[in-house]
Structure 1
Amino acid sequence: MKTMLFRSFIELTNHRLTSSMLRCFSRSKLSKPLIKPFATTFQLKEFEMSKALSEYEHLHDLFIRELKPGVRVTDKEHQSMVSPVDGVLAQSGNLDNETLFHVKGQTYNIEEMLGTQEAAKPYQNGYYFILYLSPSHYHRIHSPVDGTIIRQWKLGALSYPVNDMGLRYGKKPLSRNYRLITEVKVDGKQLAIVKVGAMNINTIELTHEGNSLKKGEEMAYFSFGSTVVLLFEHGLISDVDLKENKEVMVGQKLANLDRKEETS
């Protein structure tokens, strides 16, 4: 019953008109009076921001804020894989039965997440990370590795919330929400960076040009809190030693990659 009520409420409020209205409001000067209360409510760290709160023109400007140079330091070890976002490491582990993982009582199949069996094939029996961003977090996404972009594609349309309630009672939001997938070659193996949209302000914007990625380099931004799922081909990831539900920051080492010198 709780699941049915939650989904019914979301479906009544999560449609194009509502999303469009919220998007327009967040990008208008009408939202500026909400900047300070938003920052207070979510305990934003103004000392990290590239400009003062008073300089943001609207809420969207604050959502996609940049940080001061040097506030985040990217781990320089050649073998390290780093967090692409500020957020919470909600879960990580090996994929079960080649393509499955489980979150909050729901089973996800990466074939559904990536769109096709062919797209999922490189990640069978691989490893995954789920990184959740709340409205309080810095919303820009950075590359977790040095590598080469193979392709990028979009799937899904509307989005359920990706917070605890959404993951428990939504319709598998990590694999059905609007999402933008970037596939990266790392030493002949593959990594999929799945950027999952959040309810209503359902926008993911790419900021990176070209196919070459450097670890720590900015790739994109969310317009509101959301989730990043990292999928690693079997044998690419090792030495994961992090507790779940732990806060992580952009550039922080999450694991090691079994890297060799990259070849074309």
Structure 2
Amino acid sequence: PNSIISPVDATIETFGDITEKGLFYVKQKTYTLQDMLGSEKIASSFQNGKYIVLYLSPAEYHRIHSPVDGKILNQYILGKKSYPVNKWGLQFGKQTISGNYRMLTELEMPNAKKCIHIKVGAMFVNSIELTNKSNAWKKGEEIGYFSFGSTVVMLFEEGSVEFSSAVHPGKFVRMGENVANML
């Protein structure tokens, strides 16, 4: 009941701690929570929290599932166009994750802490189809799909989760595999 599962079949691009100033790092690039979330107020909730970036190649299963049981607090879209989200796009692109078209879902988890589940569009493919329009998600249930390769980013509030010891950059995870545990 305390596990947080991978919502997709994907490669763990990176994971780690979000700084006190709301910064996190992907491929030696600095991202800000405010740019990623489009709101200073929402961003402040995730300072000193944790993040994980999951990359889906075009060959992967493109259904998206809920990583945890949760009540939807907020759901919104940011960005208009998208650039590649593969390793080259992340390394050489400019703010790929926080600039691309993305659908954000803020969830309240069973431990009363918040998680933001961010579905990021890929170059030329801004199709993120939401199939679950309810106000609560159940762990493992399908919530949507990408029409092509893309990325899922999950952000967690400070003191809410601890990553599994099996999680490391470059590891391929299947949907349903444990990536973290709620505290």
TM tier, smaller: over 0.9
User: Helix, strand or coil: the match of 1:159?
Assistant: coil
Would you say 1:84 and 2:7 are equivalent positions?
Answer: yes
Q: Distance in 1 between matches of 2:142 and 2:21?
A: 31
Which consecutive segments of 4 or more residues in structure 1 shift more than 2 A? none
TM-score normalized by structure 1?
0.67
Please give the per-residue CA displacement for 1:176-226, whole angstroms capped at 9, x wherever unaligned: 000000000013211000110000021101000211111001111111100
Larger radius of gyration: 1
Report how far residue 240 of structure 1 moved: 2.7
Quote the residue 1:210 is aligned against.
Answer: 134
Q: Distance in 2 between matches of 1:248 and 1:224?
A: 18
Contact kept, 8 Å, 2:72 with 2:106, in 1: the verdict is: yes
Q: Distance in 2 between matches of 1:239 and 1:225?
A: 24
Change over 3 Å in CA distance of 1:118–1:94 after alignment to 2: same
Would you say 1:172 and 2:60 are equivalent positions?
Answer: no
Residue correspondence of structure 1 range 113-124 to structure 2 within 5 A = 113-124=36-47
Change over 3 Å in CA distance of 1:221–1:189 after alignment to 2: same
Report how far residue 141 of structure 1 moved: 0.5
TM-score normalized by structure 2?
0.96
Contact kept, 8 Å, 1:98 with 1:126, in 2: the verdict is: no
Q: Distance in 2 between matches of 1:127 and 1:239?
A: 9
Contact kept, 8 Å, 1:201 with 1:224, in 2: the verdict is: yes
Q: Distance in 2 between matches of 1:105 and 1:256?
A: 26
User: Helix, strand or coil: the match of 1:123?
Assistant: coil
Structure 2 residue runs without a partner (length 5+): none
Contact kept, 8 Å, 2:75 with 2:104, in 1: the verdict is: yes
Q: Distance in 1 between matches of 2:78 and 2:126?
A: 12
Structure 1 residue runs without a partner (length 5+): 1-77, 259-264
Report how far residue 239 of structure 1 moved: 4.5
User: Helix, strand or coil: the match of 2:175?
Assistant: coil
Residue correspondence of structure 1 range 165-244 to structure 2 within 5 A = 165-186=88-109, 187-241=111-165, 242-244=167-169
Contact kept, 8 Å, 1:87 with 1:131, in 2: the verdict is: yes
Report how far residue 93 of structure 1 moved: 0.4
Please give the per-residue CA displacement for 1:65-86, whole angstroms capped at 9, x wherever unaligned: xxxxxxxxxxxxx111100000
Quote the residue 1:247 is aligned against.
Answer: 172
- Paired positions, count: 181
Report how far residue 139 of structure 1 moved: 0.4
Name the one with the larger strand percent.
Answer: 2
Q: Distance in 2 between matches of 1:105 and 1:79?
A: 31
Please give the per-residue CA displacement for 1:106-161, whole angstroms capped at 9, x wherever unaligned: 11001100001112111110000000000010001000001101110000001010
% identical aligned pairs: 49
Partner AA of 2:162 in structure 1 = S
Which stretch of the first structure deviates more once superposed, 98-107 or 202-211?
Answer: 98-107
Task: Say which structure, 1 or 2, has more relative contact order (CA 8 Å, 6+ apart).
Answer: 2
User: Helix, strand or coil: the match of 1:93?
Assistant: strand
